[in-house]
Amino acid sequence: MELAGNSGGVTLDQVVAPRRGSAAWWNARYLSRDAPWDTGIVPPEVAALVASARTPRGWALDLGCGSGVSSRYLAQHGFRVVGIDLAHTALARARAAAMAESPAAYFCLADVGDLSFLHVRAALALDIGCFHSLPPERRPQYVRSLADHLLPGACYLLYAFGLAAASDESAPGVGPRDVAGFVPYFVLCGVQHGRDRERASAWYLLRRTVTPLRTYPNNPARAGL
């Protein structure tokens, strides 16, 4: 886009460079259609979880919901859904699409690192490509806040890239230390490794513990579901 007035042919993206991961950066990606994840397709992993017997209906959270494709799918399958994203561009698309077909999907402009504005505890949470882009120092607060807003036994499905090369520290990624960060509040039920756009990636299925694991150090069986 060329700047108005006497810009000397300078384009907007030469003047404005939003910080990677900021709301402005995500909005710019949606506006410029540089959003390869936004395919309009519900991941089969989401559909499989919804179809499985382990997900009783109730509230569901879609963290970093983008244009709301998975949120709407959950709403169409019996959940009351709160989709959360910091990109208003994506949320506008999510709301417009939900208006007609998914009345039980609500969309909030908020940061997933602090869910204190939510007054529900959910039976299911999804995070498809959001957690892995949070800076490492913000991840523990995300985990605690999410744990506070899930019912005991709730499922949490996380999709993330693996760790990037050390030379690209700002690239999204999740490593063993991040997965371990969930353990005080969650049990890891399964991991499915794959590749996505030439990066290692994985689907993690976790379940909110009924009681924090550390309460039963000698009896892990009691600490599970």
Ligand X SMILES: C[S@@+](CC[C@H](N)C(=O)[O-])C[C@H]1O[C@@H](n2cnc3c(N)ncnc32)[C@H](O)[C@@H]1O
Sequence-distant (6+) residues with CB within 8 A of 12 are 1, 2, 3
Q: For residue 83, what is the enclosing H or E element?
A: strand 80-85
- The gap from C-alpha 23 to its chain's centroid, in whole angstroms, comes to 15
List strands edge to edge, sheet with 150-161. 105-109, 80-85, 59-63, 122-128, 150-161, 199-208, 186-196
Q: In the complex with ligand X, which residue's Cβ is closer, 117 or 220? A: 117
Number of residues that bind ligand X (CB under 6 A): 20
Burial class (CB in 10 A: 0-12, 13-18, 19+), 200: middle
87 binds ligand X (CB under 6 A): yes
Burial class (CB in 10 A: 0-12, 13-18, 19+), 67: buried
66 binds ligand X (CB under 6 A): yes
65 binds ligand X (CB under 6 A): yes
3-state secondary structure of 155: strand
- The gap from C-alpha 214 to its chain's centroid, in whole angstroms, comes to 26
26 binds ligand X (CB under 6 A): yes
84 binds ligand X (CB under 6 A): yes
Q: Please, what is the minimum distance in Å from the beta carbon of residue 85 to ligand X?
A: 4
- Name which of 204, 152, 159 is nearest 182 in CA terms: 204
Interacting stretch for ligand X, rule CB under 6 A, among 1-9, 80-88, 148-156, 216-224? 80-88
Q: In the complex with ligand X, which residue's Cβ is closer, 45 or 213? A: 45
Interacting stretch for ligand X, rule CB under 6 A, among 51-59, 65-73, 143-151, 177-185? 65-73
35-54 positions binding ligand X, by CB under 6 A: 37-38
Binding residue for ligand X, selected from 49, 50, 59, 64, defined by CB under 6 A: 64
Q: In the complex with ligand X, which residue's Cβ is closer, 164 or 213? A: 164
The tokens describing 78, both together, are 């019996």
The tokens describing 133, both together, are 């882009």
95-134 positions binding ligand X, by CB under 6 A: 111-113, 128-130, 133-134
60 binds ligand X (CB under 6 A): no
83 binds ligand X (CB under 6 A): no
75 binds ligand X (CB under 6 A): no
| Site residues (vs ligand X, CB under 6 A) | 26, 37-38, 64-66, 69, 84-87, 90, 111-113, 128-130, 133-134
